[in-house]
Structure formats: structure tokens, C-alpha cells
Amino acid sequence: MNNLCAIKNCPKERSPKDKYCSMHRARITRHRDPQKLIGLNCLSLRERFEKQFVKDKSSGCWLWIGTTKKNGYGILQDKGMVRHAHRVSFEMFNGSIPTGSVICHSCDNRKCVNPSHLWCGSQADNLRDARLKGRMPYKNGE
């Protein structure tokens, strides 16, 4: 027997006494429509990710239009955790990120989530890249 919500593509479990998950049941109660106000909750991580960026043809960047942190990096929810969008993108398209590694942007655009603009390195690699591109002054000694 299928224990998933009756709404197409909803991955949530339905209530034992109902054919809808608790979110869709609440929408029926409030709005008489189980899909009213449907947001990104019923979509897979990949589907949610792909709805939250636009492609900039001139730069090739995939610009994050979803939620951002104060520092400009995109964020999204994944299994109850807030994650950086560029790290999610790297993992989806390039594979896992080694422990302790950072994901760097070759385009220097914090909102970019284009996997071809992302590379994996250490924090020292990231700082070296910033210095070489003139984004960070190099101080030698005191």
C-alpha cells in the first residue's frame, strides 16, 4: 500500500486516516484546495535548487535569486539544515566535498551557483586566489 500523499510529486507520508500529508490537509482545511499556496516544500532538492537561480548569458553565472545570507551567499534548506547554495550545486554536479574543503568561485561572484565556476580547495587556496586577483591586500610582516 502506498503511504505517500495523494498530491502528485509530494514525497511526504500521508496520515494513516487520510490520503493527504499534514501540509496538504491543512491547505484543504484553510483554503478548500490542497495545492493552494503550494511552495517549494513538495519538490526534491534538485527541483528546488533549479527554481532559485537565473542564468546570466554575459557572464555565464547562474545567479541565485533565492534566500541569501547577509554576506551575499545563497542558502537553501536540505533535510532541515540550512546549506550554502554553491556547495549544494558543487555536490550535485561534481560529487562530494572532502571534509575541511571550501568551494571557491572562479568568477568571484558569491551569488553564482554554476558548477563550472566552482572549484574545491583549502581555505589557503581560496585566500591565495583572492590575493592573486587583487581582492585581498598581501601583508608581509607587521
Buried b (16+ CB within 10 A) or exposed e, 70-102: eeebbbbeeeeeeebbbbbbbbeeeeeeeeebb
- Return d(Cα 33, Cα 13) in angstroms, integer: 18
The answer on pLDDT for 120 being more than 80 is: yes
**pTM value?**
0.68
User: pLDDT tens digit string along 31-82?
Assistant: 676 665 455 556 788 988 998 999 999 999 999 998 999 999 999 988 878 9
Please list the residue range(s) of the chain that carry CATH number 3.90.75.20. Answer: 45-132
Residue 19's pLDDT band (cuts 50, 70, 90): confident
CATH architecture of the domain with residue range 45-132:
Alpha-Beta Complex (3.90)
